[in-house]
Amino acid sequence: MATIFTKIISGEIPSYKIAETEDFYAFLDINPNAEGHTLCIPKKEVNKIFDLDEATYIGLMKFSHRIAIALEKAIPCKRIGMTVIGLEVPHAHVHLIPLQTMEDALFSNKQKLEPEEFEAIANKITSFL
């Protein structure tokens, strides 16, 4: 069965898209730790990140790097944190999180954003790509 993220890639489930290539897709996390919290995923549906073939893994890191650079320009923060968990969605993904404090790196402190706020954040990040 297709994962939620595969449905996001196909457009079956909407997302606030940041970037897309032939092999990768980046979009805002719907339940962000901090404004700008972005997920980078391979289109290839593989559960665990370290089960990706080497080329896809390296490609995902390069893609995440490009997104993180834009994110750091778009969102006021001390730095971009990168986390891999994957306990909720069985489709490999990298979390990129603009950090102001250590709490932003914890997945317990969530921000509630309105659709217009997600739209504005996504537009700002994409303007720096």
The count of chain residues that interact with ligand 5GP, using the rule CB under 6 A, is 14
Residue by residue, DSSP assigns 3-57 as -HHHHHHHTSS---EEEE-SSEEEEE-SS-SSTT-EEEEESS--SSGGGS-HHHH
Stretch that binds ligand 5GP, among 22-30, 44-52, 66-74, 96-104 (CB under 6 A): 22-30
Task: Pick one of 9, 24, 26, 29: the residue that binds ligand 5GP (CB under 6 A).
Answer: 29
**Minimum CB distance to ligand 5GP, residue 91 (Å):** 8
Residue 47 interacts with ligand 5GP (CB under 6 A)? Answer: no
User: Segment 49-108, which members bind ligand 5GP (CB under 6 A)?
Assistant: 85-89
Stretch that binds ligand 5GP, among 25-33, 54-62, 73-81, 98-106 (CB under 6 A): 25-33
Residue 13 interacts with ligand 5GP (CB under 6 A)? Answer: yes
Catalytic residue annotation? 93
The set of residues, in sequence order, having a beta carbon less than 8 Å from that of 67 and lying 6+ positions away, is 18, 19, 26, 38, 40, 96, 125, 129
The set of residues, in sequence order, having a beta carbon less than 8 Å from that of 82 and lying 6+ positions away, is 64, 68, 94, 95, 96, 97
Residue 31 interacts with ligand 5GP (CB under 6 A)? Answer: yes
> In which residue are the tokens 């659709």 written?
115
The residues of the shown chain that bind ligand 5GP, judged by CB under 6 A, are 4, 13, 15, 27-31, 39, 85-89
